[in-house]
Homo-oligomer: A and B are copies of this chain.
Amino acid sequence: MEKRLLLPLCLCWALSAGGAERSGLPNLLILLMDDMGWGDLGVFGEPSKETPNLDQMASEGMLFPNFYTANPLCSPSRAALLTGRLPIRNGFYTTNAHARNAYTPQEIVGGIPDSELLLPELLKKAGYVSKIIGKWHLGHRPQFHPLKHGFDEWFGSPNCHFGPYDNKATPNIPVYRDREMIGRYYEDFKIDLKTGEANLTQIYLQEALDFISRQQSSQQPFFLYWAIDATHAPVYASKHFLGTSQRGLYGDAVREIDDSIGKILKSLQNLSISENTFVFFTSDNGAALISAPKQGGSNGRFLCGKQTTFEGGMREPAIAWWPGQIPAGHVSHQMGNVMDLFTTSLSLAGLQPPSDRHIDGIDLSPAILQGKLIDRPIFYYRGNEMMAVRLGLYKAHYWTWSNSWEQFSQEKYFLIDPWSLKRSCESTGSTVCSGVAEPVLDSPGRHRARFSAAGIDFCPGQNISGVTTHTQEEHTKLPLLFHLGKDPGEKYPISFSSSEYQEVMEQIFPQVQLHKKTMVPGEPQLNMCDKAVMNWAPPGCEKLGKCLEPPKSNPKKCFWPH
């Protein structure tokens, strides 16, 4: 509670030194990356050091090496960011099977419930104008769209940029401006899967620069949510950046994003609003190692990647930037979470979070503006299960699972059920289905490598016996404990018989007990799938002559293999 008390003071301080804006309220700019890993930035140790703008952003702002997502998959992570609540509370999970990651493919029936209060809805009360640029992922059916949930503007798509599809079995993904579609990926917005060329990041950059400039003129505070997706497979970059990275196409995409962020920050400075704009850079989940190295990033020294609750799946690169407000070149050991961006943004806007529901995000402004450290646990969920918890430097795994033997060892993709394949590929970000994957069947002498390369492996090259398991392993009575300071890679479980284990678990057990006891799960939104709800005839399709005929409705439980 004492944390809340700090707020008015800190806010006054922030605002007094602040703005040219009429309202006195800071603009809010969240730069959310897609499948970018902790280790993809120079400042986080990427050996090629190809992110000069992000590294400079860190040197002018505050770096958070202990920042997490709320879920190792995109849709739930994004729903958590915008609601300040764990996916198990806001409904972005499934109960179809135990501890399964779920998201919002085109077949999904559900989406963000009306009962949830999203950040832009709340910011309206303080006069903010909100725009989302890029991937929404909180439901593609019209009732779930951004403009139904508080955003004033939208440029982007409701789903991932998978494709191209034939518009018969599956429609191509629409791209929206505000309430109506203006085209489809691969038709009107080109992505060349062979070369990796697409100019989408340039379009998203221009949208951001235009919005910022318009808002500066109108002198209304803004919330811009820049949720771009060039680092999500199929990875892309525009012509100018293709072939420029030492890291291949993935690196080209990172370089273009880095360059774009440099331009956005520069524009804030040129418009003289940088001292009145709070900027936060992070990612939705860990790098998709299944797509690496061609189409996936790096989680640095952390274990495994996207889809898992190991550090590689959930620890994110994070930088806060606000010249004049945030001291330059600082590193904060504050544990943070994407859900905190909800509460912190409200706090900076002088608003209180809703009091009628549990909010998991905390107000980070004392950490960001005054260098304080706030004690708090991090909960690592996979679907409906709390897999792990971090308290201080310790992390306790209550459940471990990488992925199933069935998925891990599938030798050739055409041997498995195509529906399950498509789901697997899309949700993992694998490129097997996009048609750009290289055959991996020609490495003589390394049969096991060949097999697992063709299967789904969330932990390539990593194997911690008893930890990176292919069966779901329960450890609720005797959790696997790691010291993330000494052992960030989760390689050395602390001995159960040590006094260290006993002392730490005595602190962790009651916190977990309290968390579970008071947890009221929301209604799961990601259980049902139906090909009839796909993007056949999105709003605006008539004007473009791009409406397609949906098949007959046949709702069934979605299959979530991970």
Contacts and interface: CB of A to CB of B under 8 A. Distances in A.
A26 interface: no
Contacts of A483: 248, 293
B63 A486 contact: no
A485 B246 contact: yes
Contact of A65 (B44, B47, B444): B47
A271 interface: no
A352 B460 CA distance: 47
Contacts of A300: 45, 47, 300-301
B65 A449 contact: no
Contacts of A248: 483, 485-486
B452 A465 contact: yes
A502 interface: no
A417 to B, nearest CB: 27
Contact of A47 (B66, B453, B461): B66
Contacts of A466: 443, 445-446, 448-449
Contact of A46 (B42, B45, B484, B495): B45
A49 interface: yes
Nearest to A42: B331
A445 B497 CA distance: 13
A393 interface: yes
- Residue with the greatest number of chain B CB neighbours at <10 A, chosen from A439, A446, A486: A486
Contacts of A487: 292-293
A247 interface: yes
The complex is assembled from copies of this chain, and their number is 2
A496 interface: yes
Contacts of A303: 461
Interface string A38-52: 010010111111000
Given A246-B333, A301-B301, A462-B463, A449 B493 contact: yes
Contacts of A442: 495-497
A222 B467 CA distance: 52
A42 B438 CA distance: 36
A461 B491 contact: yes
A87 B442 CA distance: 37
A493 B393 CA distance: 35
Nearest to A444: B496
B293 A492 contact: yes
Given A49-B63, A246-B393, A464-B461, A293 B491 contact: yes
A251 interface: yes
Nearest to A452: B465
- Looking at chain A's contact residues, is the secondary structure mostly helix, strand, loop, or mixed? loop
What band does the interface of chain A fall in when counting residues whose beta carbon is under 8 Å from B? Answer: 35 or more
A446 B493 contact: yes
Interface in A451-476: 452-453, 460-466
Contacts of A331: 42, 49
A150 interface: no
Contacts of A342: none
A110 interface: no
A443 B462 CA distance: 20
A45 B489 CA distance: 13
Contacts of A485: 48, 245-248, 251
A460 B468 CA distance: 13
B465 A462 contact: no
A298 B302 CA distance: 12
A531 interface: no
A519 interface: no
A327 interface: no
Contacts of A445: 466
Nearest to A497: B442
Contact of A461 (B42, B45, B463): B463
Contacts of A39: 45, 301
A371 interface: no
Interface string A12-32: 000000000000000000000
Contacts of A47: 65-66, 300-301, 484, 488
Nearest to A466: B446
A393 B251 CA distance: 14
Given A65-B49, A331-B42, A449-B466, A247 B486 contact: yes
Nearest to A478: B444
A440 interface: yes
A250 interface: yes
Contacts of A498: 438
Q: Lowest 5 A-B CB distances belong to which pairs? A: A45-B45, A246-B485, A446-B466, A461-B491, A293-B486
Interface of A: 39, 42, 44-49, 59, 63, 65-66, 245-248, 250-251, 292-294, 298, 300-301, 303, 331, 333, 393, 438-440, 442-446, 448-449, 452-453, 460-466, 478, 483-489, 491-493, 495-498
17 contacts: A39-B45, A45-B45, A45-B300, A47-B65, A49-B65, A246-B393, A293-B491, A301-B301, A438-B495, A439-B495, A443-B466, A443-B495, A444-B478, A449-B493, A461-B463, A461-B464, A461-B489
Given A247-B486, A293-B491, 8 more contacts: A45-B300, A45-B301, A47-B66, A47-B484, A47-B488, A294-B486, A298-B301, A446-B493
